[in-house]
Structure 1
């Protein structure tokens, strides 16, 4: 088992050990080339592995404990599955000789995990473990990437049996351009008002430059997919408009007036709530590209579906479209003026709202952004504040933004720790909602234990704001009130929680103090938490423009 892990490039094991993993953790203690990254709760363990896999661009290895430990990690596995993060996960099953007696923590581990992973298998024979482990690593990265589970009984790991040398690692060639790209180039070149929806497949395949080249050749307005997990197009580019809202009506409105839409590397359109109707405006044609053969045409009809390597296909399209659309420079210039004006207006509104705590959320987010260095990786799990962050944060470098479209709360702290462990060359700032922080609070223990220099910024509004906003959009339900949406009283002071886990912290008293605290914490090179008290809703000064 260790020989296969070593050959697969594994240097860190993310885990929370139990009795059924003792043979494995004993072996790790005798193998100093492996580092064991301990989390005190499995949700944090899986989140750390997720962030690490994204930063290193290879599968992360996770060790969970029996049925209960696997259950605690399921939210993280659901996130990884939705975000297409490659993980190889082992869970320690009880001794097979003991299973007949239905012992504590035993259960159908593959059955428990099956809905959250690409494949779940229980190893039955020691001789099969090397092959199944190799197979798990290969399957985890095969499009669509995701987590793979192996359930391994404790007694199997202790067997003395001849298994021979582990099978060698298989090399896989790159993914070829999609068949039909020439036809796609013709459809896109003939569009009068083209648009691009850049999905997370673009960022995962390191295809930003190719995506930019295609958009510039067309002069196409570019949108990020709803709730994008990463940087799929530079947000400072003249053609960049915004992230699409996760509602069919909002997507339809944004795409209205575009006769051809090029959807690239996105899992259809991730709408958060049901709304009737298609996200595609009537009369609009869709060209869809994905490396997952199940995606094109899965949710809405497409004029042309392309299946193949995203980067390779975009490179072919960029070459074929270069200089072909005479209106492209004029379209780019017009889009640039429009988008720059919108961004300037938003910045002016944020600056006008600066003040003391509790702060206007737009002003607070602007203050956070002002303290973040250009080379930072921003891990975002802030829900309502995150929507504002996406509109204000200038993202130029690939892999500068980490989110999970999976929606399982508690991802942010662990993912930020894993991201910094995976790439120590870049500072990491996690922007978190207070509710999300509570779900993943145990991750602070690992940050302190391994002295991982992450800055955790908690947007503390004392309520489940997104639910209140949803109630408002849906109209009155009964008398318009809902139970369980307020976290205060008592007032949550996250500086106290941080210090309990060994992380230094400060509570900001004004927007200016937020910027100073974030910048100082990044430069400090230690784990640090900034508690930012904000109001629930944006408070615009008199005479300020509305949204």
Structure 2
């Protein structure tokens, strides 16, 4: 291979790995390689804050099941990105973050912007490293792509000193090899799992996003039906199980362990697939499972199996083929599928208004979601960050088809708008609508500027109640648990003084918008949103 500067070889490597988008916010120490970006096969997507760049890459990686590339500017840029990198780490998103710095030659100087970027990133990444010689630049980038994409997936960081990128390298650019982890446990282990799952009389399934990563939705459904077990989502932010299936019981909370404990207290056996237990902010310290309950845990991440509570059978393996093998053993033991009694809707993707005998919508969020279900074309995808509005959204737009529903995960606010943009870039054939709250949206509202700059045809709905409503709910629980008499919510939860004028704010960033404050405005607003070519925002005043 002929010698060329590392910064040129870097773009060759990105092209070899099929990476077509780079989300970033530029800085001086990256100017050398960004000077070559416009002529490369990798499109640079400019954002106005690093959290927007990471959240867009996160949505892109989740929807496209491929690496999301991020460019960060030195220590200050990485610092701005940490919260969203945490989100990606918790959610297992395969991000590759490239952070620029001034150069190896300046290590001893403790100069402006000097920082240990690897140490900063280690708590929120799967792997973090620094390139110190041009002859290893491309091998390190390939390694980063491989590690990000190998289950359990996660974000990685590669620090790129400017002086290393300026030096020449003869290293060839070839595609990174991602090893297959599509492994199945040995037959005896499958037999042990089948023994455990057939032993009890109150079966329960707990499932999470490892199911979606594996593409194991069909296999999980078959096993659940063979067991006749209710299925609960745990850290389930994608379509891991058809939520209209009669066996779908709901999602466990993300805040209080006592809620999960009530669900699992009498279960035996318990099958855990593609998730860790339990992902609450305040988890139970004592094992919530019934004494003697038989627990089988299947996950690609061996670390998560038995991490907090003992399991009887732990299978560190890919969920899809493992569940298929398990279903075969259950059938061989004479089990027949049992679907339960709830009848799913017939339309295959969305529940129309008044489906399943539910009452006409009452709240503004219900009305909007029902109208969106009625008007949206096939191929609707929802990115849901508006957690206090999620029950209404999923009631009228139940997640059914893999790759069409994405929810926030990891706890970082502000992922709704940029996440929807990333989904749209990865899956342009989908109609993408991102739901966020008024508080959460303001963490990354400048993402609207990026949407306008690149005419990204995603839609956004701000559920605008003038408060951090989720904090209201959580403090009510706090008061009950501590026998505190209810009283006025803390003034810190209020967002109404002054009221954020989202239509004007969106317009200033180049995105047309409409405010919906009355029920009779809903239908026209949905029609305008879906009919507009390009980004569009609805400021939905909610109850």
Structure 1 length-normalised TM: 0.89
Alignment of 1:144-543 (within 5 A): 144-159=152-167, 161-166=168-173, 169-170=176-177, 172-179=179-186, 180-226=189-235, 228-246=236-254, 247-275=256-284, 277-322=286-331, 324=333, 326=335, 328-329=337-338, 332-334=339-341, 351=360, 353-354=362-363, 359=364, 361-475=365-479, 476=484, 481-535=489-543
Match of 2:20 in 1: 11
CA distance in 2, matches of 1:192, 1:391: 30
CA distance in 2, matches of 1:307, 1:79: 24
1:23 aligns with 2:27: no
Q: For structure 1, which segment, 302-311 or 239-248, has the greater mean C-alpha deviation from structure 2 after superposition? A: 239-248
Evaluate the alpha carbon distance shift between residue 453 and residue 270 of structure 1 in structure 2; reply closer, same or farther with a 3 A threshold: same
CA distance in 2, matches of 1:56, 1:111: 29
Given that 2:151 and 2:181 are in contact with CA atoms closer than 8 Å, whether structure 1 keeps it comes out as: no
1:128 aligns with 2:128: no
Match of 2:4 in 1: none
| Residue 278 of structure 1: how far off its partner (Å) | 3.1
Deviations 1:119-168 (A, max 9, x none): 11121111111111111111111222111101111111111x34332466
CA distance in 1, matches of 2:180, 2:492: 52
Q: For structure 1, which segment, 261-270 or 516-525, has the greater mean C-alpha deviation from structure 2 after superposition? A: 516-525
Evaluate the alpha carbon distance shift between residue 256 and residue 375 of structure 1 in structure 2; reply closer, same or farther with a 3 A threshold: farther
**Root mean square deviation of aligned Cα:** 2.4
Deviations 1:400-445 (A, max 9, x none): 1112321111111111101100010111110111111001101111
Q: Give ranges in structure 1 of 5+ residues lacking alignment.
A: 338-342, 536-547
Deviations 1:314-372 (A, max 9, x none): 1112222237455743xx334659xxxxx999987762525xxxx4x555554555554
Given that 1:189 and 1:325 are in contact with CA atoms closer than 8 Å, whether structure 2 keeps it comes out as: no
1:84 aligns with 2:92: yes
Given that 1:252 and 1:281 are in contact with CA atoms closer than 8 Å, whether structure 2 keeps it comes out as: no
**Helix, strand or coil at the partner of 2:272:** strand
CA distance in 1, matches of 2:487, 2:400: 46
**Helix, strand or coil at the partner of 1:197:** strand
Deviations 1:176-232 (A, max 9, x none): 113412221232234322111121100111111111111122221111114x22111
CA distance in 2, matches of 1:480, 1:428: 38
Q: For structure 1, which segment, 256-265 or 230-239, has the greater mean C-alpha deviation from structure 2 after superposition? A: 256-265
Evaluate the alpha carbon distance shift between residue 38 and residue 138 of structure 1 in structure 2; reply closer, same or farther with a 3 A threshold: same
Evaluate the alpha carbon distance shift between residue 347 and residue 523 of structure 1 in structure 2; reply closer, same or farther with a 3 A threshold: farther
Deviations 1:225-261 (A, max 9, x none): 14x2211100111111111123322112223443211
| Residue 98 of structure 1: how far off its partner (Å) | 3.7
Match of 2:115 in 1: 107
Q: Give ranges in structure 2 of 5+ residues lacking alignment.
A: 1-9, 345-351
CA distance in 2, matches of 1:84, 1:383: 20
Given that 2:200 and 2:294 are in contact with CA atoms closer than 8 Å, whether structure 1 keeps it comes out as: no
Evaluate the alpha carbon distance shift between residue 511 and residue 216 of structure 1 in structure 2; reply closer, same or farther with a 3 A threshold: farther
**Helix, strand or coil at the partner of 1:151:** strand
Given that 2:58 and 2:93 are in contact with CA atoms closer than 8 Å, whether structure 1 keeps it comes out as: yes
Evaluate the alpha carbon distance shift between residue 189 and residue 373 of structure 1 in structure 2; reply closer, same or farther with a 3 A threshold: farther
CA distance in 2, matches of 1:344, 1:493: 30
Given that 2:190 and 2:329 are in contact with CA atoms closer than 8 Å, whether structure 1 keeps it comes out as: no
**Helix, strand or coil at the partner of 2:221:** helix
CA distance in 1, matches of 2:399, 2:436: 18
Evaluate the alpha carbon distance shift between residue 147 and residue 235 of structure 1 in structure 2; reply closer, same or farther with a 3 A threshold: same
Evaluate the alpha carbon distance shift between residue 167 and residue 434 of structure 1 in structure 2; reply closer, same or farther with a 3 A threshold: same
Structure 2 length-normalised TM: 0.90
| Residue 267 of structure 1: how far off its partner (Å) | 2.2
CA distance in 2, matches of 1:163, 1:224: 49
CA distance in 1, matches of 2:504, 2:238: 31
Given that 2:261 and 2:289 are in contact with CA atoms closer than 8 Å, whether structure 1 keeps it comes out as: yes
Aligned residue-pair number: 520
Match of 2:49 in 1: 41
Evaluate the alpha carbon distance shift between residue 372 and residue 282 of structure 1 in structure 2; reply closer, same or farther with a 3 A threshold: farther
Given that 2:16 and 2:174 are in contact with CA atoms closer than 8 Å, whether structure 1 keeps it comes out as: no
